[in-house]
């Protein structure tokens, strides 16, 4: 006999305090709403454009890995990742002045997981984590899940302002709180698109050292400067306190889910233990694929192609904003990465308008997603990585029309 359909709903499961007090991701909500509309132009996703990847070559590598190394590739692996890939990671970090030993690197399922491991190891309830205002929503969600208080530090076009950080650390101490860490995205920041100046990098490292703060340096976009240059990381100046996060998601593809953390020496074993508890090990097959991609020097040409493409898309976006946005709207002009930050005139609420924008066929992320304190209603992030130039022009015209109407 067929089971009868359930007519009563089960009682809700009581959530842990930690989860109950969290807020669900606005970025994810916008994605979900956008995904339901076919043909939507999305300025919301921080997803790289993958159309230029050498898929045939990657398929050959997958075949080779499975035929030659199948029983290693599909087996459990070591918690900190395979040595071949850790060696490549050390070479990549050397481009930013970091001198590391492959043994110090821990490979994770994306840098998001690495941020989680480090927060798990270092952040206690009530600790203060400082971050740019605005900051990356995914990292803030991690810190909040460990019940940290996030305090935003004002930023300008040169990134986070060191004097404001010092002032806010003093304020937190005076209020009896424990300043624990600075979280910063120094290169082509998500969501603001700004770059931390060389001078400020040195200053921030010194302030964190002097004040007893940890430094969480998150760098998924460092290789995506339009001019092909890289900036010196903060890590070399403060290696005893810096946790440096890297990712293959933006310079290659997020689908293999690979990132890493380079931690102060004393933390290495703790983080390896946490990695083991959380996931046993990152996928060996995926790591072998990533290492094979980097073994062939043509990855640099592919990356150069992407940098050119993203620059063209940014230029299209800036041109379209100039043409279509109402007077009083301002935006920055990033020199790399995926994101441009827009400030709209008073009278426009980007948080309120996002649903109407989606109705009209365009998605963006309102500024409120990137502040822990409710700020950001006059701001929005536009990601220019995924849409085509045509879509960028058309989508910006729709947004410009919507914002102009909202002001009328
Ligand atoms: C600043 C920043 N950090 C970390 C991540 C997470 O990247 P992944 O987990 O794909 O390596 C992202 C993704 O958008 C990001 O923008």
Secondary structure (DSSP) of 195-223: ---HHHHHHHHHHHHHHT-EEEEE-SSGG
Residue 169 has pLDDT above 80, yes or no: yes
Tell me which of 249, 260, 287, 383 to substitute to probe ligand 1's pocket, judged by most ligand atoms within 8 Å of the beta carbon.
249
**Within-domain flag for 66:** no
- Overall domain count for the chain: 2
Predicted confidence (pLDDT) per residue in 94-153, tens digit = 999 999 999 999 999 999 999 999 999 999 999 999 999 999 999 999 999 999 999 999
Q: Say which CATH number the domain at 135 has.
A: 3.40.640.10
Other CB atoms within a 10 A radius of the CB of residue 107 amount to 28
At 36 the pLDDT is 78
Name the pairing type of β-strands 214-218 and 330-331: unpaired
Contacts of 40 (CB under 8 A, 6+ apart): 34, 358, 361, 362, 363
**Within-domain flag for 387:** yes
User: By C-alpha distance, which of 92, 144, 86 is closest to 115?
Assistant: 144
At 32 the pLDDT is 76
Higher-confidence position of 30 and 78: 78
Q: How does the average pLDDT of the chain come out, rounded?
A: 95
Mean pLDDT calculated for residue range 57-82: 98
Residue 31 has pLDDT above 80, yes or no: no
At 256 the pLDDT is 98
At 306 the pLDDT is 97
**Within-domain flag for 282:** yes
Residue 29 has pLDDT above 80, yes or no: no
Mean pLDDT calculated for residue range 305-316: 98
User: How far is CA 248 from each of CA 49, 291, 293, rounded to the nearest angstrom?
Assistant: 13, 11, 11
Q: Which range among 15-19, 155-159, 225-229, 384-388 shows the weakest confidence by mean pLDDT?
A: 15-19
Are 145 and 244 part of one and the same domain?
yes
**Within-domain flag for 186:** yes
Residue 1 has pLDDT above 80, yes or no: no
Are 127 and 256 part of one and the same domain?
yes
Are 85 and 141 part of one and the same domain?
yes
Are 251 and 324 part of one and the same domain?
no
At 4 the pLDDT is 53
Adjacent-strand bridge partners of 339: 383
In this structure, which residue's CA is closest to atom 8 in ligand 1?
Answer: 110
At 283 the pLDDT is 98
Are 268 and 325 part of one and the same domain?
no
User: What is the per-residue burial (b if ≥16 Cβ within 10 Å, else e) of 192-216?
Assistant: bbbbbbeebbebbbebbeeeebbbb
Are 99 and 199 part of one and the same domain?
yes
At 264 the pLDDT is 97
Q: How far is the CA of 112 from the centre of ligand 1 (A)?
A: 6
Predicted confidence (pLDDT) per residue in 376-389, tens digit = 999 999 999 999 99
User: At residue 63, what are phi and psi to the nearest 5 degrees?
Assistant: -65, -45
Maximum Cα interatomic distance, the chain, rounded to a whole number of Å: 74
Are 391 and 274 part of one and the same domain?
no
User: At residue 33, what are phi and psi to the nearest 5 degrees?
Assistant: -65, -40
CB distance 134 to ligand 1 below 6 Å: no
Residue 239 has pLDDT above 60, yes or no: yes
Are 234 and 96 part of one and the same domain?
yes
With H, G, I as helix, E, B as strand and everything else as coil, classify residue 395.
Answer: helix
Predicted confidence (pLDDT) per residue in 87-103, tens digit = 999 999 999 999 999 99
Are 289 and 312 part of one and the same domain?
no
Other CB atoms within a 10 A radius of the CB of residue 103 amount to 12
Contact 398, 370 (CB under 8 A): no
Mean pLDDT calculated for residue range 164-187: 98
**Within-domain flag for 144:** yes
In this structure, which residue's CA is closest to atom 5 in ligand 1?
Answer: 112
Res. 24 pLDDT band, cuts 50 70 90: low
Are 311 and 282 part of one and the same domain?
no
Of 295, 310, 335, the last residue of a domain is 295
Predicted confidence (pLDDT) per residue in 347-371, tens digit = 999 999 999 999 999 999 999 999 9
Contact 204, 182 (CB under 8 A): yes
Res. 12 pLDDT band, cuts 50 70 90: confident
With H, G, I as helix, E, B as strand and everything else as coil, classify residue 59.
Answer: helix
Are 285 and 317 part of one and the same domain?
no
Residue 25 has pLDDT above 90, yes or no: no
Q: How far is the CA of 220 from the centre of ligand 1 (A)?
A: 6
Task: Print the domain residue range for 226.
Answer: 71-295
Q: How far is the CA of 306 from the centre of ligand 1 (A)?
A: 18
Of 237, 269, 295, the last residue of a domain is 295
Contact 249, 52 (CB under 8 A): no
Are 276 and 352 part of one and the same domain?
no
E-strand spans in 19-161?
41-42, 105-108, 127-133, 149-156, 159-160
CB distance 108 to ligand 1 below 6 Å: no
At 35 the pLDDT is 75
User: By C-alpha distance, which of 259, 306, 286, 264 is closest to 92?
Assistant: 259
Which conformational region is residue 147 in: left (phi greater than 0), alpha (psi within -120 to 50 degrees), or beta? left
At 203 the pLDDT is 97
**pTM to 2 decimals?**
0.95
Q: Which range among 30-34, 208-212, 292-296, 379-383 shows the weakest confidence by mean pLDDT?
A: 30-34
């Amino acid at each position: 006999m067929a089971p009868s359909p359930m007519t009563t709903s089960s009682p809700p499961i009581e959530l842990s305090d930690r989860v109950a007090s969290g807020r669900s991701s606005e970025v994810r909500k916008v994605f979900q709403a956008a995904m339901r509309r076919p043909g939507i132009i999305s300025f919301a996703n921080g997803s790289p454009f993958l159309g230029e990847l050498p898929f045939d070559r990657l398929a050959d590598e997958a075949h080779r890995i499975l035929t030659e190394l199948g029983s290693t590739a599909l087996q459990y692996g070591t918690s900190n990742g395979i040595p071949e890939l850790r060696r490549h990671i050390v070479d990549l970090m050397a481009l930013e002045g970091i001198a590391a030993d492959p043994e110090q690197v821990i490979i994770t399922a994306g840098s998001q997981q690495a941020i989680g491991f480090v927060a798990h190891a270092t952040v206690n309830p009530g600790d203060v984590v400082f971050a740019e205002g605005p900051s990356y929503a995914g990292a803030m969600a991690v810190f909040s899940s460990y019940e940290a208080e996030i305090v935003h530090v004002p930023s300008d076009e040169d990134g986070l302002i060191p004097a404001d950080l010092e002032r806010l650390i003093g304020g937190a101490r005076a209020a009896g709180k424990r300043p624990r860490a600075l979280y910063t995205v120094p290169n082509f920041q998500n969501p603001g698109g700004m770059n931390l100046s060389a001078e400020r990098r040195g200053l921030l490292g010194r302030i964190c050292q002097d004040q007893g703060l940890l430094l969480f340096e998150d760098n998924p976009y460092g290789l995506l400067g339009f001019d092909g240059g890289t900036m010196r990381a903060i890590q070399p100046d403060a290696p005893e306190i810096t946790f440096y996060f890297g990712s293959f998601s933006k310079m290659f593809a997020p689908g293999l889910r690979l990132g890493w953390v380079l931690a102060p020496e004393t933390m290495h074993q703790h983080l390896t233990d946490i990695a083991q508890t959380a996931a046993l090990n990152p996928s060996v097959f995926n790591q072998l694929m990533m290492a094979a991609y980097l073994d062939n020097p043509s990855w640099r040409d592919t990356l150069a192609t992407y940098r050119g493409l993203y620059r063209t898309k940014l230029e299209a976006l800036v041109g379209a904003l100039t043409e279509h946005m109402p007077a009083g709207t301002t935006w920055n002009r990033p020199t790399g990465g995926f994101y441009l930050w827009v400030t709209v005139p008073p009278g426009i609420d980007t948080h309120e308008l996002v649903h109407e924008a989606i109705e009209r066929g365009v998605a963006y992320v309102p500024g409120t997603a990137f502040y822990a304190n409710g700020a950001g209603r006059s701001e929005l992030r536009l990601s220019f990585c995924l849409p085509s130039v045509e879509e960028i022009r058309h989508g910006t015209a729709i947004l410009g029309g919507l914002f102009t109407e909202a002001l009328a």
